[in-house]
Amino acid sequence: MEELEGKVAVITGAASGIGRALADRFAAEGMKLVVADVEATALDAAVEELRAAGHEVTPVLCDVSVRSQVEGLRDAAVSAYGAVHLVCNNAGVGSGGQMATLTERDWEWVLGVNLWGVIHGVSAFLPLLLAQGEGHIVNTASVAGLFAAPFMGPYNASKYAVVAISETLFNELAMSGTDVGVSVLCPGWVATRIALADRNRPEALRNDEGAADPMSAMRDAFDAFIQGGMAPAAVAEKVCEAVRHKRFYILTHEESKASIDARFRALLDDGHPPMVMP
């Protein structure tokens, strides 16, 4: 999709972090925006800023872990603009801890947003894009979908799955001859609020009162890495270029390649998983 002006972009997790930067970047290209987030106050603020800058934007409050809400997002986009051309399945949360202490609720929350959110986004929007004969899907994974660091079990599992889904979709689209494209975004550390994602964790998926917080010993350390990470705007620029040129893998950090190489060398050499970090 080399020409973006006047086309429609749907972005989940758009109220902050990478999603907010994607909204700014694609708005600057003259795209009409449908921005979705589960955090109402932050979404309202983002929409106010985008509209104040003269951009055309439609907000939708959406929990991507719920299929009906993602289908509602699709319907709202079509109702507002008549079409959808770019879908950024970007909403995500971060949590972790030692595998021995993680609860089923920890797994359910992270997989519900990071994995099922992408599944719902692809299922809801792909038939629409195929019927149009044009469009592009960007699924946000992570370098944690290319190699597995310790203490990040649910997050790693979700991101590995997003990479696999995206690779499968790429080859299916290539076999079909359609002009619909797909990219998978695999960033390293990016300066976002993902370490505070627990603020939006549903009550039904919170651990029982008094239960140990699996992230308590690591949250400050992870947040330090995150806050020293790449600016979300720089990530959004790479995504925009990938959409324009139909590039599949979007790696944001050159230094990630050494860890990716170490993992695949271990695999090919019948070795052990290397101890690596994003």
Catalytic positions, please? Answer: 155
DSSP for residue 208:
P
Q: From CA 206, how far away is CA 202, in angstroms rounded?
A: 7
Distances from the Cα of 89 to the Cαs of 57, 115, 218, 277, in angstroms?
17, 10, 27, 24
Q: From CA 242, how far away is CA 220, in angstroms rounded?
A: 33
Concatenating the DSSP letter of every residue in 70-120 gives: HHHHHHHHHHHHS---EEEE-------B-TTT--HHHHHHHHHHHTHHHHH
The closest of 168, 170, 172 to 183, measured between CA atoms, is: 170
Tokens of 18: 């990478």
CA geometry: angle 72, 119, 143, nearest 5 deg:
125
Radius of gyration of the chain (CA): 18
Q: Report how far apart the first and last C-alpha atoms of the chain are (Å, whole number).
A: 30
Q: From CA 44, how far away is CA 147, in angstroms rounded?
A: 36
Q: Is 164 helix (H, G, I), strand (E, B) or coil?
A: helix
